[in-house]
Chain A
């Protein structure tokens, strides 16, 4: 158990608060989002438009984004133990594989808690409680609702990253 914890420590995302003067694209919240800078994100989204927009949002937050457009593409990219993704943003409504299936395989072949997986979904508010529970059961770490707005994605990423660091 101790060994696993140490492994997670090495992989944990270091939180750095940037200087106020530092140039950043997030002018409105210069300090609150800067710790996301350099975060290695795999973005799995089949819709071209949504992928394009979400990618720009993540880049604006300073993340390093790898766009993927299908479940199989995602598994090929994330499968190898050497892949360096810290976070996976996963569209639940993928055309080839069910999003939960993809998440389950990542959890099985990588680890119970790494990389961090956030679901992206356009479910209505009514379906949300069940969805949240199912996500937690499947080992996902967070949920982002579509359509995606900058502050929404930043908040959920921050929450999930901080939680991961706290556990360790």
Chain B
């Protein structure tokens, strides 16, 4: 996970998990997958339009950045911030280039998270408290 996740933010999610909310981390991450898949799709469609509606793009990316930030997805968040700068500058090409980076980081993060949950499920509840490398 090194570099992909802000440990303080992600640890907080783990600390919010307890007997009353035993699957909290997985629920939150599932929400993230759902919301981000929708936003990625919306952004792709918006980038295909001509002329590009930069305000709309910025709004989508603001949401994407917000939820990425809440789960501690710092690389994704960084690319989102860069994207928004291009948006504000009205630079369509910059947006498209940066969006490829956003998708790349996002896909890499999803893979890491999926592995994390697979390991957590195998290990069982006792080992859940321990963080993966």
Contact = CB atoms under 8 A, between A and B. Distances in A.
Interface string A18-62: 000000010000000000000000000001111011001100100
Contacts of A122: 62, 65-66, 69
Interface residues of B, number: 23
B45 interface: no
Contacts of B69: 122, 146-147
B78 interface: no
Interface string B24-48: 1001100110010000000000000
A48 B35 contact: yes
Nearest to B67: A49
A47 B68 CA distance: 11
B2 interface: no
A148 B9 CA distance: 8
Interface residues of A, number: 17
B67 A50 contact: yes
27 contacts: A25-B18, A47-B63, A47-B66, A48-B31, A49-B31, A49-B32, A49-B35, A49-B67, A52-B28, A53-B13, A53-B16, A53-B28, A56-B16, A56-B24, A60-B16, A93-B62, A122-B66, A146-B66, A146-B69, A146-B70, A147-B69, A147-B70, A147-B72, A148-B70, A149-B8, A149-B12, A150-B15
